[in-house]
Amino acid sequence: MQHDIRRLPFQEALPRAQRVVQTCLNAMIPEGQANDLLNAMRYGVIGGKALRGFLVLEGARLHRVTIGPASMAALAIECLHAYSLIHDDLPSMDDDDLRRGQPTVHKTWDEATAVLAGDALQALAFELLSHSDIGSAEVSRSLVYGMATAAGRVGMVGGQMLDIQAESKTDGHTLAEIEAIQNGKTGALIRWSAMAGAELAQAETEPLRIYGDKLGLAFQIADDILDVEGDEVTVGKAVGKDEAAGKATFVSLLGLDGAKRRADELVESACDAISIYGDDAETLKEAARFVVNRTH
């Protein structure tokens, strides 16, 4: 199989992932249509960091998977992630007007369009993963099953529900409980993203699973730190919401310095896990360091 994804430093590989995702999205949902549903779906996917799509592309590159299948899996996870953000922003959920510095989907269109665009993006994710161009039926089934479980009641949605209920819990949470919430809400799909490239190649997934596991937790700790230290303009969404809601976070439990130390340790473990890939894994290591140092 031709190895057609070149290794780039992280700061170039991330924008490349955004372009790859957008090109694949254009093929599935062409631009410039007079259709609110399709435009809201596109709006939800475009403009994100595409960190999850990047992880898919890097994992694929490490296993010499070609860009076609890799970009379909990258778009699939970006669709799934975009749907979760659109629904999360709804007035009945987090009630956010701003996402990535832009008006949220229900502000740009309306609530009904936001509900439906999210629903259709989830379906599109599974459409992409079950498309015959993505690889063998075995690969397809494994990617679908992994995403469905990571996205559902024991994964992302389950974590979101725990997170909502945590806000009304007055006696506080333990670190283990916070980790369980984040593992569902964010961790499961970051892990899926990291492993997808190995899945596409039907190769050993364990090193990338551990990498994704550690990265996901570091990512959420960094998010909690940003909610305390960041400002709304650079973060691109409302900040200080956790404290205002009285929510237990990694920062409230570990302290700011303790949270930063824990994030650094996780990044080290993530990098160690993929050392067997040698220099080829350098971009993924840069990504892990970026995640804990990002300001937006």
Site residues for a copy of itself per CB under 8 A: 29, 35-38, 41, 83-84, 87, 90, 92-93, 110-113, 115-116, 118-120, 122-124, 126-127, 129-132, 136-138, 140-141, 144-145, 147-149, 151-153, 155, 157-158, 160-161, 164-165
Task: Give the burial class of 295: count Cβ atoms within 10 A of its Cβ; 0-12 exposed, 13-18 middle, 19 or more buried.
Answer: exposed
Closest distance of CB 39 from a copy of itself, Å: 11
Tokens of 74: 């990258």
DSSP secondary structure letters along the chain? ---------HHHHHHHHHHHHHHHHHHHS-SS-S-HHHHHHHHHHTTS--HHHHHHHHHHHHTT--HHHHHHHHHHHHHHHHHHHHHHTSTTTT--SEETTEE-HHHHS-HHHHHHHHHHHHHHHHHHHTSGGGS-HHHHHHHHHHHHHHHSTTTHHHHHHHHHHHHT-TT---HHHHHHHHIIIIIHHHHHHHHHHHHHTT---HHHHHHHHHHHHHHHHHHHHHHHH--HHHHSS--SHHHHTT---HHHHHHHHHHHHHHHHHHHHHHHHTGGGGGGGHHHHHHHHHHHH---
Between 29 and 253, whose beta carbon lies closer to a copy of itself? 29
Closest distance of CB 272 from a copy of itself, Å: 32
Between 108 and 149, whose beta carbon lies closer to a copy of itself? 149
Q: In Å, how far from its chain's centre is CA 82?
A: 9
Between 122 and 283, whose beta carbon lies closer to a copy of itself? 122
Between 120 and 263, whose beta carbon lies closer to a copy of itself? 120
Whether the CB-CB separation of 84 and 44 falls below 8 Å is answered with no
Between 196 and 281, whose beta carbon lies closer to a copy of itself? 196
Between 9 and 152, whose beta carbon lies closer to a copy of itself? 152
Between 77 and 210, whose beta carbon lies closer to a copy of itself? 77
Closest distance of CB 209 from a copy of itself, Å: 19
Instruction: Say which residues have a Cβ less than 8 Å from residue 115's Cβ, sequence separation at least 6.
Output: 87, 90
Closest distance of CB 168 from a copy of itself, Å: 11
Closest distance of CB 253 from a copy of itself, Å: 24
Between 140 and 283, whose beta carbon lies closer to a copy of itself? 140
